[in-house]
Amino acid sequence: MSRYHCIVAAALIGCGTPGSERDTVGSSVSLTSIGDPTAGGDSSGGSEAGSGDAAGESSVGNTKYDVGIGGFCDSRAAGIYCSDNVAMECGDAGDLVDSVDCDPDLCIEGTGCVVCLAGQFHCQGAKVMSCNAAANPPAWQLVEVCDPGAGEGCDQGSGMCEVLQPLGTQNPTGQYFQFADFHTGSSAFMGGYDVDSYDDKIYVLGLNNQIDVYQVVLLDTDGDGKLEPNQHPDNPDTAGPIEGRTLTHLMSLPAFGTPSPSSSELQALDDRLFIGGSALTQYMLANGMTSVVTSPPGWAGTFAELGYDDVHGVWYASNEGNRRVFQFDATDGTWGIAFLYPTLAGDHMDGMEVVTDPETNIPYVYVSDMTSDFIGQYRLDPTAGWVQENLFSYAGTSGSLVEGMGFGALHHFWATGGDSLYEVGGGDLSEYTDPPG
């Protein structure tokens, strides 16, 4: 469904707005591009903040700042240099003229930030793209368009369209835990399916298609003066009793979009919600205005699950009928198949989330079957294409239903099962979801 929501640091580099896409056919990618979240096609837009031309100033997106390396340009000729993927321009007087963080793109000595290198391929929805390194600046250009209806997808490693096969193994590489389980009748949870979270708020598609808004609060129930969301008796990294949580129902929002319980996942931001179904629909929290972002193609069915890569500005979706993840190409409003994953102990796929690692700024796609036994973690490698990074197993009572999965509050995943709302995470998962420190 969603991603790391930029909760911890408001200036996390690369946080985009759903509806935009950074990669544009035949052009370079502007780090300052913030698209119209209501648009289904290509959008460029302007900088979200000022350029910050003075030392110490910063701006979201095309971040410019004093890199803190005193005298970096003292012994260097005028030109552009790279340090930790930051492009730094030295002037004739040995001064630092400018500095730009190139993430998620590349820094090249003498050139600065570029989107690609010679010989690289890239998957953009159903399209296979290759790097035109001769362009100034280098840019992606179209190679071929795959046929998702025939099961084809872009293979980034080979730079060709292939009939995609399930990717990864069924061998766990890590574990996670359950921390809370709120049931109807014994908590504030009123029941429902499909879920997402932003900050301490949890949004659930209720039984009457309304959106129920809850607040979760972590308690210091062990009395040690610390709030420890990952503390669990079986967690070797943070052993101890599970800290208590309270759940409060705050309000209910009216139904919008094309809701269908258990197959219309939610995406939450600070000022808006998105819902899947037979369309991807946006709802503005301030005024209740709605708009359709895009609709699924015939081969995809409905958008039962949603995810958004806020580093590259790309929507992902999936359908319960097949264990496959779709990728949106905002330049022309089309969808392609990103990857397939193997059976993970459930009858069908019923959970997906995109979470950006707050330490590395790498976005990961997480997938789950309709039970919480396993969560698969996938990453788009620039060279090899999609890879299964990890398969996390559930350390606890297996078989809890997943009828929607989101991420956010307490840096954990939240799932709904009709009569329950429960929280999982921690363990080895926390290496990729917890903020630094």
Give me the pLDDT at residue 398, please.
Answer: 64
Mean pLDDT of the chain: 85
User: Which CATH number do you get for residue 373?
Assistant: 2.115.10
In a domain, 134, yes or no: no
In a domain, 167, yes or no: no
Given a cut of 70, whether residue 61 has pLDDT beyond it is no
In a domain, 293, yes or no: yes
The verdict on pTM exceeding 0.85 is no
Count structural domains, the chain. 1
Give me the pLDDT at residue 104, please.
Answer: 80
pLDDT in tens, 214-271: 999 999 999 999 999 999 999 999 999 999 999 999 999 999 999 998 899 999 999 9
Given a cut of 80, whether residue 153 has pLDDT beyond it is yes
Q: What is the 3-state secondary structure (H, E, C) of the chain?
A: CCCCCCCCCCCCCCCCCECECCCCCCCCCCCCCCCCCCCCCCCCCCCCCCCCCCCCCCCCCCCCCCCCCCCCCCCCCCEEEEECCEEEEECCCCCEEEEEECCCCEEECCCEEECCCCCCEEEECCEEEEEECCCCCCEEEEEEECCHHHCEEEECCCCEEEECCECCCCCCCEEEEEEEEEECCCCCCCCEEEEEEECCEEEEECCCCCEEEEEEEECCCCCCCCCCCCCECCCCCCECCCCCEEEEEEEEECCCCECCCCCCCEEECCCEEEECECCEEEEECCCCCEEEEECCCHHHCCECEEEEECCCCEEEEECCCCCEEEEEECCCCEEEEEEECCCCCCCCEEEEEEEECCCCCCEEEEEEECECCEEEEEEEECCCEEEEEEEEEECCCCCCECCCEEECHHHCEEEECECEEEEEECHHHHHHHCCCC
Between residues 188 and 93, the one the model is more confident about: 188
Give me the pLDDT at residue 281, please.
Answer: 98
In a domain, 414, yes or no: yes
In a domain, 17, yes or no: no
pLDDT band at 74 (very low <50, low <70, confident <90, very high): confident
pLDDT band at 380 (very low <50, low <70, confident <90, very high): very high
What is the span of the domain harbouring residue 319?
Answer: 174-433
